Structure 1
């Protein structure tokens, strides 16, 4: 009988050879092709983002044997995602284009994080790569807080015996870091590519002292601000050198500083009426005795032209901001009518009472009382007469509160608005059933509302009303530049509204 001996050394050699020949494989029996670990080529190993924003982990992942899973992990962000390719595609993939979006929570307080990307192939081989995520991304363009309005006319006055000059105050902000300002006035060498460094600050102010040639001429002007990432914002306007200009628009300013001129969303300074050549009329409600006012042809600054009392002759006006004294309105709780002639430099002032001021709806309709015919059919079904701002329909009107002293003055409680958002509203009566146009006001322009005309399609009208009206269904869509608390005021007699910062 032959005897069979077990050779242990030979057995393990054979087993090792078999394993080496077949290679590693997972439980599903996928064969090895090259037996190499996967390869990761991420688009970026450093992602800059910000709270409340979504970032994307992206890149190309390859493996000749077949990719099984991709894990994305960051405990500090509560990110633990496994992308199982076999489960998704019913087979492993040799190439996979990774694109995974993840949103940073708005209340996140961390500053930087590490996301680990781990790829496993069908043979169990893994490779990992870290992605650094920091909350220092820059996504916003710089913002002009104080500057000439885009498309506006800046006037340099030719005064006898003087060189035309003016001060132009610029204030800009950025969510991260400002780089520099660039000023260009076409045809003026001194102001060609004039650069002013902002030194990486988030807020920057600069006063340009501009001297112009002493001849009547218009010069295109461009002001551009850049942040450290190259994002920019530009204002384009015109510098007009002239002796006297019949300005298309004039404004009444009842604030003391340029910061106050520019901290509102709209309405400050208040647009007044251009009633004739070089002639303007302001109707203004004075809430506080001894209110000081000036008249400005530009909205954002007291320079280069500011109409006020001439200290050399207080019966006359001056347009020189360095000399002008405020016009003082001595009476409270009355309406003022002020006429100015900027060619003759004259002004006239008179007052009229709250009782003499008219509203565009019938006098028998009392705000807050049930005096409205609900269905406009002569019936007796009544509802309270109120109105306010709405972004959709009359059932969602936020009704105004009426001022305790002036029945023509209305307001809302302060609200917090976010910088960068655009509003969308008209002023309309409240109604329970979406019935439109009992009373309604629309603005003159969407982005920069200045006058709120009473809509001529409104059902209720007061024939004695002589204020602004409109046939246009224009919704106001002003943009909020700075996050903060704002309060809305509306004067139904004047057809003027403002949305201003409050502390």
Structure 2
């Protein structure tokens, strides 16, 4: 009797256990109930992403699972990617649906060409599903870049034979397709389509004959790459007698490439003193420097002022025959005045000692009569390149020969397409203090770095030049990736940012 009851009791316990399993189903360690026991569903937005070094990709897709999504893992050893998105940890519960959107940056020094990212979804029951995402570094996102193109406004002087040298260079990070040129209104000139054949660079020079009458022509140059990205360079050509140019520039370089390789400052803007009259002040560091004067910034043509080859006491404007003005003395300032209407010029020099600047204290000094009341405030005085606040100024080095001349010891590495944002400013340990600072005339195309917001008692009393800039930070756009050196002359209120190599 006892044996019979034992077997009956054991049978009841076994039946109860089966019932519990029947109603609860299979559980993971966390005890989440099973709904359908199916594998998760993963749908990536795309199976192939075209990208490039230094760019950010976004891994996107939709995930669903009725039992509940536990985690999503992204793996690619070659990209050093191993990321687990733990949904239970983030949301404190599993989710039935989830929109995947994960951003990942391709390192700039990456040398590979294609990679496979494995995306794996795991549900609360331990079931998984995976998909592969192909990433290739052959994407084309950038528009073609004009590294050389005519100025927005170009003057061509009426001559016995009036000609204009149309010159431009364009580049693309992948492959150029074609370039078109349109100049309506010129007899004998038809619109051109020039095939670039997938090259990364394209150069063009052609001399165009223009009618000997005062007229304006619109030039439109359009560059298109293989992905259909396009850039347009526009220019207005004015055919006329000698105009009274509002702006004039000093060029101390030898080639068109050097005129266009800077971020700003080359050629150097000079002063217009009256109708057809200009004055150029220039510090000559090396004997034998050759200079010209240009009313356009990007080319020595169509107008270039220099010495007349037939009479060196006069100027000529012909870029094909002009001779340079040669500055024979080193470590001295030159002042050149000239008249473009009468073709006359004069030159004088003055020593560094006479070249004043508005700097209020000896550079690098520590005992400052800050308020002009005979008191002192102990802090080292210097200034330099500032992109954020005066606590983070990159200090200038002062030239050993010319105390007006400053530069950054270390080159600035700048990427193409970067818009800069900086001023020249005094360093200060506590933050903002516009005690000694320079701003620019035009943020997008800085030409003058004027001493800004000065008060006479805080600066050199001999510095009487008026403020001629606003509170404008320099914000030029970099065309070509590379290392650049920044040079600033406090006497001339001019700066330039040129390739360091």
Same fold, TM-score > 0.5, yes or no: yes
- Report what 2:133 is aligned to: 131
**Where in structure 2 are the equivalents of 1:213-232 lying within 5 Å?**
213-232=211-230
2:382 counterpart of 1:386:
yes
| Cα distance, 1:477 vs structure 2 | 1.7
| Alignment partner, residue 196 of structure 1 | 194
Using a 3 Å threshold, how does the CA distance of structure 1 residues 361 and 119 change in structure 2: closer, same or farther?
Answer: closer
Distance apart, 1:290 and its partner CA: 1.5
Of the three residues 394, 414, 418, the one matched with 1:418 is 414
Q: 1:70 to 1:280 in 2, by over 3 A?
A: same
Whether 2:403 is the aligned partner of 1:407: answer: yes
Structure 1 Cα separation of the partners of residues 304 and 53 of structure 2: 43
1:67-86 matches, cutoff 5 A: 70-83=72-85
Partner in structure 2 of residue 13 of structure 1: none
Q: Which residue of 2 aligns with 1:353?
A: 351
* Distance of 2:490 and 2:72 partners within structure 1: 63
Q: Which runs of 5+ in 1 are unaligned?
A: 1-20
**Structure 1 vs Structure 2 CA RMSD:** 3.0
* Pairwise CA distance, 1:158: 0.9
Deviation at 1:296, TM superposition (A): 0.7
Cα 1:367–1:39 shift into 2, 3 Å: closer
1: CA distance, partners of 2:267 / 2:356: 23
Give the equivalent residue in structure 2 for 1:369.
365
What is the number of equivalent residue pairs in this alignment?
476
For 2:458 and 2:85, locate their aligned partners in 1 and report how far apart those are by CA, in whole Å: 63
Q: Provide, for residues 359-398 of structure 1, a one-character-per-residue CA deviation record: whole Å limited to 9, x for no partner.
A: 2246xx4333345214554313344443322223433333
How far apart are the structure 1 equivalents of 2:70 and 2:384? Answer: 60
Relative distance call for 1:75 and 1:25 in structure 2 (3 A) is farther
The separation in 1 between residues aligned to 2:119 and 2:432, in whole angstroms, is 57
1:80-479 mapped onto 2 (5 Å cutoff): 80-83=82-85, 95-119=97-121, 127-149=129-151, 152-159=152-159, 161-162=160-161, 164-188=162-186, 193-361=191-359, 365-370=361-366, 372-419=368-415, 420-434=417-431, 436-458=433-455, 459-465=457-463, 467=465, 469-470=467-468, 472-479=470-477
User: Does the aligned pair in 2 maintain the 1:374–1:383 contact within 8 Å?
Assistant: no
**Which position in structure 2 is the counterpart of 1:16?**
none
TM-score normalized with structure 2 length? 0.85
Name which of structure 1's ranges 436-445 and 78-87 shifts more when overlaid on structure 2: 78-87
CA contact (8 A) 1:67 1:92 kept: yes
Paired with 2:380 and 2:496, the residues of 1 have a C-alpha distance of: 25
Per the TM alignment, residue 110 of structure 1 is displaced from its structure 2 partner at its CA by: 1.9
Sort the Cα spacing of 1:431 and 1:63 in 2 relative to 1 into closer, same or farther, 3 A. closer
Contact 1:394-1:428 within 8 A present in 2 as well: yes
Distance 1:430 1:91 in 2: 52
3-state SS in 1 of match to 2:222: strand
- 2:48 touches 2:133 (CA, 8 Å); kept in 1? yes
The question of whether the paired residues in 2 share the 8 Å contact of 1:468 and 1:495 is answered with: no
CA displacement at 1:271 relative to structure 2 = 0.3
Distance 1:388 1:84, change over 3 A: closer
Match of 1:58 among 57, 60, 81: 60
Question: For the structure 1 residues 186 and 377, does the alpha-carbon distance in structure 2 shift closer, same or farther, using more than 3 Å as the test?
Answer: farther
- Whole-Å separation in 1 of the counterparts to 2:340 and 2:72: 74
Partner Cα distance (1:494, 1:86) in 2: 65
Q: Deviations over 1:112-141 (max 9, x none)?
A: 111223445677765543221012222322
- Alignment CA distance shift 1:455-1:67 (3 Å): closer
Q: Which stretches in structure 2 are left out of the alignment for 5+ residues?
A: 1-21
Displacement of 1:307 after TM fit? Answer: 1.1
2:11 equivalent in structure 1: none
User: What's the secondary structure of 2:391's corresponding residue?
Assistant: helix
Cα distance change on mapping 1:375 and 1:383 into 2, 3 Å: farther
Structure 1 range deviating more: 255-264 or 483-492 = 483-492
Seen in structure 2, the aligned counterparts of structure 1 residues 62 and 399 have a Cα distance that, compared at 3 Å, is: closer
TM-score under structure 1 normalisation?
A: 0.85
1:436-472 deviations in Å (ceiling 9; x for gaps): 2332221111121111112243452334335463362
